[in-house]
Structure 1
């Protein structure tokens, strides 16, 4: 019998409670299941160990942390390495796939391992936890019936402007919310580009530090954002994880 591949959500940011830093965002059952596993696949072993240490505060780990196997799967992992990552599951060992933040396999290289697990008849069990993409859609007031996540937009100003125009056009014609993210230190440049390229009627949402005490979410149309930025009232989002959404009107 094969093992089960558990898809384990990670936090988007920690609370200030040193005795239960995960309690506000990762469900009890998820932390319990995580604590019982001794094989994990993660983007970065160091941050995965830090996550497991936090899990262990309330749910003692089944093995000492140094005895837990953590294999890395990231954008640099060659496709031929996936078979070795899956091998323990085929031998009957349960495993946890952990994202750097939020849910695994969504905007995350873990999706390749999940697909391979299905191809080999391995049971995949997704666990409940935070997704910045869904939290942003929920809080934006934009169309939650149809939406698309587009990852990062081009960093080149001209290419980015063209891409924004394309997404706005698709959003308007299909009535579909378009989501994307940016490297946190470039958030201001992204919002400036959106205001410059989008029609005044296009709705733009900026969702920052989702699930944290510093969370801030604001939806305005392009014209309103332009006035707000001109008045020096930019969002407090410098170097903070932010999701951008737009809906053409």
Structure 2
């Protein structure tokens, strides 16, 4: 029986920053030998893969899609190349696979099947934001997206602020880019003036923005230009 392939978790750029600043040459060299990829969206995956030096023509590669809408019954089919001894690269839409990403379900199944999972080095917006925030990096929690409905969102903000204060824990969350300003306005309205808020936007790009202020200071300054720009929010009471 053929030995099983390895599932490589491939970080991708967070924007149009290009590969050299964010992916080491060793990672790109490893990718050039892979012919099977599981991707969130084929179009953006092809744009990424065509930048990998030494990779054969895209037409010769097999791209299988895995998104939040993929049914669980399809996952074993995505593992088929691995069970036949072929390596597979798992790509997120942006950043690290399986972190706030549907790829986690495939990784879990790979472990159940005894497949080796190999994480590769690359950008993580969550960790980059935490590193640059100056907030507590010893205790932190990532919550993904907050509720969309106003009352539920406002209640969640108060819960996170209280938890942060009681546990001395940084609370990290994100929002759909076109709702960034709505979330920021809710934070400024609901949180205590002394609570620290970091906004990290367009990380690794030329117009990267990372700034931490107390809520009271944010209220006295103009709001940053984060509309429709990928952003991470970090809160510490």
9, 12, 25: which one pairs with 1:10? 12
Secondary structure of the 2:44 match is helix
Distance 2:219 2:19 in 1: 38
Residue in 2 that maps onto 1:195: 188
Q: Map 1:8-157; keep pairs closer than 5 Å.
A: 8-15=10-17, 21-55=18-52, 59-61=53-55, 63-157=56-150
Deviations 1:123-171 (A, max 9, x none): 1100000000000000000010011111111111111100101111111
Secondary structure of the 2:210 match is strand
Distance 2:40 2:21 in 1: 23
Distance 1:31 1:99 in 2: 16
Residue in 2 that maps onto 1:221: 214
Distance 1:11 1:64 in 2: 21
Unaligned residue ranges in structure 1 (runs of 5+): 16-20
Residue in 2 that maps onto 1:159: 152
Distance 2:147 2:50 in 1: 36
Residue in 1 that maps onto 2:231: 242
Q: TM-score, normalised by structure 1?
A: 0.92
How far the C-alpha of 1:13 sits from its partner, in A, is 1.4
How far the C-alpha of 1:14 sits from its partner, in A, is 2.0
Secondary structure of the 2:54 match is coil
Distance 1:143 1:52 in 2: 36
Distance 2:75 2:178 in 1: 33
Unaligned residue ranges in structure 2 (runs of 5+): none
Q: Which runs of 4+ in 1 moved over 3 A?
A: none
Distance 1:4 1:241 in 2: 31
How far the C-alpha of 1:39 sits from its partner, in A, is 0.2
How far the C-alpha of 1:67 sits from its partner, in A, is 1.4
Q: TM-score, normalised by structure 2?
A: 0.97
Distance 2:144 2:94 in 1: 15
Count of matched residue pairs: 235
Distance 1:96 1:42 in 2: 8
Distance 1:76 1:182 in 2: 19
